[in-house]
Amino acid sequence: MSEAAALKKSQDELSILKEEFSAAIATAKDAAALDEVRVSALGKKGRITELLKTLGALAPEIRKERGAALNILKDEISSKLEARQKELSHAELNTRLEKERIDVTLPVRPQPDGRVHPISQTIDEIVTLFGAMGFTVAKGPDIESDYYNFTALNIPPDHPARDMQATFYLPHQGEHPTVLRTQTSPVQIRTMMKEKPPIRVIAPGRTYRCDYDMTHTPMFHQVEGLVIDEKIHMGHLKGCLMDFLRSYFGIKDLPIRFRPSYFPFTEPSAEVDIGCSRKSGELKLGNGGDWLEILGCGMVHPNVLKNCGIDAERYQGFAFGMGVERIAMLKYGIPDLRTFFEADLRWLKHYGFLPLDIPNPALGSNGTTAR
C-alpha cells in the first residue's frame, strides 16, 4: 500500500473513531456511563491509547502524520468528556436542589421574638417628624470637654446653673476638665463652630447625670434642636414645637402653653406645658384643665452665638431640648424610667415594637393618623 493510501485509511479510521466516541459521550446519562466511555477511549487499554502504542512500528513519514492526528483526537475526546462531565454535574445539582428545596414562603410568625426598643422607636419618630420640617441629625461625643458642655453655653465655672446638673467628672485632660455630657447641647456648639448659618439640626443621644429614681437614671437620652438664621423669632419656635407635639402625641387640639423660665444659654427662655387631666389619679393628655411640663426652649443667647463665632447682630435662632424617655413614657404608658434599661425581655415584648412599625410622616409618627 502506498504512503498516501495508508494516510487516507488512517484518517478515515480516526474520523469513524471520533464520531463513535462523540456519540457515546453525548448519550451518556450519568457519571458512571461517561466514565465507561473515558476508559474505553483513553484508559490504559483504551482504543486511542492502543493506537498510540502502534506508532513506533510505522515508517517515520507516516508516524509523524498519524501521531499528530491521534493527539488531536485525544485532545478533542478529552474536551468533550470534560464538557459532558460539567453538564451531568449541573443536572445532578439541579435534581438535588429540586428534591431538597425548602419552602421559604411560610407566613410570618404571629408573635416574632424580636422587638424594637421604645427608645429607638421614639428617636425614630422624633427624627421623622422634625425631618419633615427640614431638620437634619447632628451627633457628637459622649465624653465632652467642660468647655463645650458648660462654658461655651454661657455657663462659666462659678455659675450656679452648674449646681443644677449632677455631673460625672472624668480625669483631667488638656486645658479643660472632661465630663460625661449632661446634655446634648455640646452638639449644638460643635455644629455652630463647624457650620455657617442657616443651621437647622436636631441632636439625639445619650446623656449622663448622677440621679437614680423612678424618673431619673444615671444614663438617659435627650433630643435637642437648633435653628439659626437671619430672621428667626419666637413665633417660629412656638409653631415648630406645637406642630411637633400635636403630631407626636396624635392629638390635633392638644393644649400647649409657653411659660417664662430661665436657662443660661437662651434668652428669653420658656418651659413648654401640655394640657392633661389627672382625674381619679390617671394621667390623660388633652383638654382636662391641668398642665404637664414637657420640655424647655428659648431664643439662643447672644453670648452663645459669639462663643461660636457667629455674628449675633446678624443672626439669631432658637433651641429646645426634651427627654426621650419622658415623652415615650407619656405616649406609651410606661410608669418607671428604670425599666428602660433593665434588659427584661418580658418588658420589651410588652412595650416594644415590631420591626416593620416604621414611623411615617404621612400617617403620623407611629404609623397612625392623628386623632
Q: Give tens-digit pLDDT for 283-324.
A: 899 988 899 999 999 999 999 999 999 999 999 999 999 999
In degrees and rounded to multiples of 5, residue 111 shows phi and psi of -130, 75
Q: Which band of pLDDT confidence, cut at 50, 70 and 90, is reported for residue 366? A: low
Read off the C-alpha cell for 328.
415615650
Please list, residue by residue across 44-83, b when 16 or more beta carbons sit within 10 angstroms of its beta carbon and e when fewer do.
eebebeebbeeeeeeeeeeeeebeebbeebbeebeebbee
Positive or negative: CA dihedral 359, 365, 366, 371: negative
pTM greater than 0.85: no
Residue 1, pLDDT > 60, answer no
Place of cell 461517561: 34
Distances (CA, A) of 279 to 192, 256, 289: 45, 19, 10
Question: Which residues on adjacent β-strands are paired with residue 297?
Answer: 270, 320
User: To the nearest whole number, what is the mean pLDDT of the chain?
Assistant: 85
What pLDDT does residue 165 have?
A: 65
pLDDT grade, residue 127 (50/70/90)?
Answer: very high
pLDDT at 234 over 50: yes
User: Is pLDDT at 365 greater than 70 in this prediction?
Assistant: no
The residue with greater pLDDT, 159 or 326, is 326
> Once rounded to an integer, what is the mean pLDDT over residues 221-246?
96
The three-class DSSP label of residue 7 is helix
Report the pLDDT value the prediction gives residue 13, as an integer from 0 to 100. Answer: 76
Specify the pLDDT at position 368.
45
| Cβ proximity of 129 and 194 under 8 Å | no
Predicted pLDDT of residue 60: 76
Task: Assess whether pLDDT exceeds 60 at residue 145.
Answer: yes
pLDDT band at 8; cut points 50, 70, 90: low
For the stretch 53-69, pLDDT in tens is 777 777 777 777 777 88
- Closest of 92, 73, 123, 74 to residue 30, by C-alpha: 92
User: Which residues, listed in sequence order, are joined to residue 52 by a DSSP beta bridge?
Assistant: none
Determine the average pLDDT of the residues in 359-370.
52
Q: How much is the pLDDT for 132?
A: 92
Give the mean model confidence (pLDDT) for residues 86-90: 89
What is the spatial distance between Cα 196 and Cα 317, in angstroms, rounded to a whole number? 13
C-alpha cell at 167: 455631673
Look at residue 49 in the predicted model and tell me its pLDDT: 82
What's the confidence (pLDDT) of residue 96?
Answer: 84
For the ranges 5-19, 92-106, 267-281, 357-371, the one whose mean pLDDT is highest = 267-281
What does the alpha-carbon distance between residue 21 and residue 39 come to, in Å, rounded to a whole number?
11
* pLDDT above 70 coverage of the chain, percent: 89
The three grid cell numbers given for residue 3, joined into one nine-digit string: 504512503
The residues pairing with 291 across neighbouring beta strands, listed in sequence order, are 275
Measure the CA–CA gap between 144 and 186, rounded to whole angstroms: 8
What phi and psi, each to the nearest 5 degrees, are found at residue 119?
Answer: -65, -45
Output the pLDDT for position 192.
96
Of 93, 85, 55, 66, the residue nearest 12 (C-alpha): 66
Q: Residue 53 has what pLDDT?
A: 78
Q: Is the pLDDT of residue 185 over 60?
A: yes
- Classify residue 122 by its DSSP letter: H
CA distance 248 to 269: 23
pLDDT of amino acid 371: 31
- Better pLDDT: 254 or 98: 254
- Please check the confidence at residue 367 and state whether its pLDDT lies above 80: no
Residue 122: pLDDT over 50: yes
- pLDDT at residue number 52: 79
